[in-house]
Amino acid sequence: MIILGIESSCDETSAAVVRMEQGRREILSNVVASQIEIHRLYGGVVPEIASRAHIEAISGIVDEALRTAGVTLSEIECIAVTSHPGLIGALLVGVNFAKSLAYANGIPLVAVNHVKAHVAAAYLECETLEPPFLALVVSGGHTSFYEVREYAEFREIGGTRDDAAGEAFDKIGRVIGMPYPAGAAMDKLAYDGDAHAVTLPSPALVGDTLDFSFSGLKTAALNYINSERQKDREPHAADLTASYTRVIVEAIVKKTDAALIKTGAKTLVLAGGVAANSHIRRGLSELCEKRGVTFSTPSLSLCSDNAAMVAAAGYFEFLRGKLADTSLNASALDEDF
């Protein structure tokens, strides 16, 4: 089946053509137009500007995805679009474009949850991956564990009670002078510092829970930065980043270990933009090796927002008969778990 995926939930406009069949998963095109340069001026995503940039880009991006894949609209058998969660104005651009395209061309339409799409990215590169497994999604908006029982059936078993890991990296990175989004730069800088130089609280909540809280960690890092500046010193960016990364990785590894024990899962899928973090990838890959668990994570280009993952998730929604129609609406909320 040939699927056109469309993604516009945050600051990337993306369209992709993917072929999904039993035992065969192939990306024919995956075009991503990033708005990062525009939002960098403001130190974060400005929702109104994001919506406008999606409107300007979407038609050309879909054309390019079809052209690069070498297929015409008449060969597309399903259109999959991210409908939630995300920035409502940004989501509406993709949803309305997909609805019009599907309606005008008589193509079946499916709505996709962005978080499930991050996990579906793992299927694209690993044809043997199949549920059940434990998924950990770490992104700008999520730090969540899911028990994935069927391709499109997720049960959330833990998550952050406040900020997400990506937000925590971006916020502290910004305060120490890194351009938005700071995650990838902090990943590199952490190699240059002493990971035990700054004492910081763990974002893993104490007790029999798989939940996190990143707000205390962010506040502690800010207090360290402010107290150094009050003493007329610039905080040591590499030491802070290394220490900050260490407590985040340790917390994620600890809670993932608990989640593996709780669920008895034999496979772990790590997905989402922050899954690109080399320290987290290494920590979880070592944990899985120790526990005899198969570790699967998409390559870096499929970790960040893209439409190939939306098309892959859409395929499984289509298979279970979840078709959408012109009444489809976008939602900012993560409501279908």
Binding site for Zn ion (CB under 5 A): 139, 305
Tell me how long the chain is: 337
Tell me which H or E stretch contains 158: strand 153-158
Choosing among Zn ion, ligand KG4, none, which partner's interface includes residue 283 (Cβ < 5 to 8 Å by kind)? none
Binds ligand KG4 by CB under 6 A, chosen from 123, 169, 212, 224:
169
Using omega within 30 degrees of 0 as the cis cutoff, is the peptide bond preceding 298 cis? no
Q: Are 87 and 95 in contact (CB under 8 A)?
A: no
Residues 241 to 300: which contact ligand KG4 by CB under 6 A?
Answer: 272-274, 276-277
Residues 174 to 233: which contact ligand KG4 by CB under 6 A?
Answer: 181-184, 187
CA dist 217 and 202 (Å) reads: 7
Helices (H), the chain: 36-40, 47-69, 88-105, 114-125, 165-175, 183-189, 215-230, 237-263, 278-291, 300-303, 307-319
Q: Is 140 in the site for ligand KG4 (CB under 6 A)?
A: yes
Choosing among ligand KG4, Zn ion, none, which partner's interface includes residue 183 (Cβ < 5 to 8 Å by kind)? ligand KG4
- Minimum CB separation of residue 311 from Zn ion in Å reads 15
Cα-based torsion angle of the residue sequence 153, 167, 289, 309 in order, rounded to the nearest 10 degrees: 40
Q: Which is nearer to ligand KG4, 39 or 99 (CB)?
A: 39
Q: Are 85 and 49 in contact (CB under 8 A)?
A: no
User: Which residue stretch of 21-29, 163-171, 226-234, 249-257 sits at the interface with ligand KG4 (rule: CB under 6 A)?
Assistant: 163-171
Choosing among Zn ion, ligand KG4, none, which partner's interface includes residue 166 (Cβ < 5 to 8 Å by kind)? ligand KG4
- Minimum CB separation of residue 279 from ligand KG4 in Å reads 8
Which residues contact ligand KG4 by CB under 6 A?
10, 139-141, 166, 169-170, 181-184, 187, 272-274, 276-277, 304-305
